[in-house]
Amino acid sequence: MRNAALVLGIIAGIFGMIVGFFSFGYTEAVERFGEIEGLAEQVENVGLIRTMSLLAPLLAIAGGAMAKVRALWGGGLLLLSAAGMYHAFGFGVFTMFPIAFAAVGGVLAIAAGKPDEPKAHF
Q: How far apart are CA 50 and CA 2, in angstroms?
A: 30
Tell me what pLDDT residue 25 has.
94
Identify whether 29 is part of a domain. yes
Identify whether 121 is part of a domain. no
Question: pLDDT tens digits for 34-90?
Answer: 888 888 888 899 999 999 999 999 999 999 999 988 889 999 999 999 999 999 999
Identify whether 50 is part of a domain. yes
Sign of CA dihedral 16, 54, 88, 27: negative
Strand (E) or helix (H) holding 107: helix 96-111
Question: pLDDT tens digits for 2-29?
Answer: 899 999 999 999 999 999 999 999 999 9
Identify whether 96 is part of a domain. yes
Whole-angstrom CA distances from 82 to 47, 67, 105, 109, 119 are: 18, 15, 10, 14, 26
Count of domains forming the chain: 1
Identify whether 120 is part of a domain. no
Identify whether 118 is part of a domain. no
Domain interval for residue 15: 2-111
Identify whether 62 is part of a domain. yes
Tally of CA atoms within 13 A in the half-sphere of 68 that contains its CB: 8
pTM above 0.85, yes or no: yes
Identify whether 36 is part of a domain. yes
